[in-house]
Amino acid sequence: MTQPTTRRRVELLTREGCTLCARAHARLAELAGELGFELSATDVDAAASAGNPGLRAEFGDRLPVILLDGREHSYWDVDEPRLRADLAPLTTRAREARRGPVT
């Protein structure tokens, strides 16, 4: 019996008007379709206005920041080779699950 595949989560920390953030979001959206991770985006300024200033205080000076499963993965740009490597065990399991058992 195979283990259920857990979808990894990538969160992009961003802010309005950030061109690097828009570029990172576009690339991550492409990769999410290919690699099968869940993508979300959080505007750190909107979060601060809503009463959660922690993200802006910690990450606001180096946006965009990419978090993988809640942990900082990269900033200013998508480190695609590293992201692919970190997601490789997941994508391998997902491919194997689609193929079914080897006979």
Inter-CA distances, 47 with 67, 69, 86, 102, Å: 16, 19, 28, 48
Q: Tell me the fold of 9-99.
A: Glutaredoxin (3.40.30)
Structural tokens at position 34:
């290919």
**Which pLDDT value is given to residue 52?**
94
pLDDT digits (tens, 9 = 90+) for 87-102: 987 555 555 555 555 5
pLDDT digits (tens, 9 = 90+) for 58-81: 999 999 999 999 999 999 999 999
**Which pLDDT value is given to residue 24?**
98
Question: What is the Cα–Cα distance from 5 to 73, expressed in whole angstroms?
Answer: 21
- All structural domains of the chain with their residue ranges: 9-99
